Amino acid sequence: MTDWIFATIDRLGPVGVGLLIALETVIPPIPSELILPLAGFRARSGAMHPLLVWLAATLGALAGALVLYWLGARLGYERLHRLAGKRWFVLTSQRDLERGHKLFARHGSWVVAVSRCVPVLRSLVSIPAGVERMRLPRFVALTAAGSGTWNALFIGAGWLLAEQWHKVERYTTPAGAVVGVLLVAGVLLLVARKVRQAQ
């Protein structure tokens, strides 16, 4: 997985980083905790400017969040809740949708910024924000602030660890494999849950 991320970044540069982060935001195939340090490492080698990497990653996160915001605004809570009960709908479960909705209702729009630093939740929180028709400028500002902070931390970590990357890579490769297995298991668990709900 590490080699594939490196290949994408090397081929497309900062644009590749943005695309990977946008994809991770909408349908998390690989975590940003893996993408961003690798991008920081490449920036340290001189292949890319670190500010461009950060900007691309933040724009990618914002683009993915806007897709989910639009989905929530377009479909509304009731329709999304019904879709989440379908066997084929693996984006979220009804239970997770309910949790996200309650979290947003309890803590307000600030949860949009804070959740950008929490795996999975950083994607799901955009849906209730769209359902509640949160003011788009505020949504964009809070998403950019939260995602920008998260991205800067992990890109910076990759930059600082560049001199010891040969040590780090020994752990990221098996970690990437473990993440891939866990993601597949998570999808299978969602499908199994939906099958049980439908019975």
Gyration radius from the chain CA atoms = 17
- Stretch among 23-32, 54-63, 81-90, 189-198 having the lowest mean pLDDT: 189-198
- Euclidean distance between the first and the last CA atom of the chain, given in angstroms as a whole number: 37
Residue 17: CB atoms within 10 Å: 33
Please give the Cα distance from 57 to 155 (Å, whole number): 9
Specify the pLDDT at position 131.
85
* Residues 78-132 pLDDT 10s: 888 787 777 656 566 677 777 777 777 777 677 777 777 777 677 778 888 888 8
| CA 37/CA 12 separation, integer angstroms | 17
Helix, strand and coil content of the chain, in percent to the nearest 5, comes to 85, 0, 15
- What is the reported pTM? 0.74
Domain ranges of the chain: 2-198
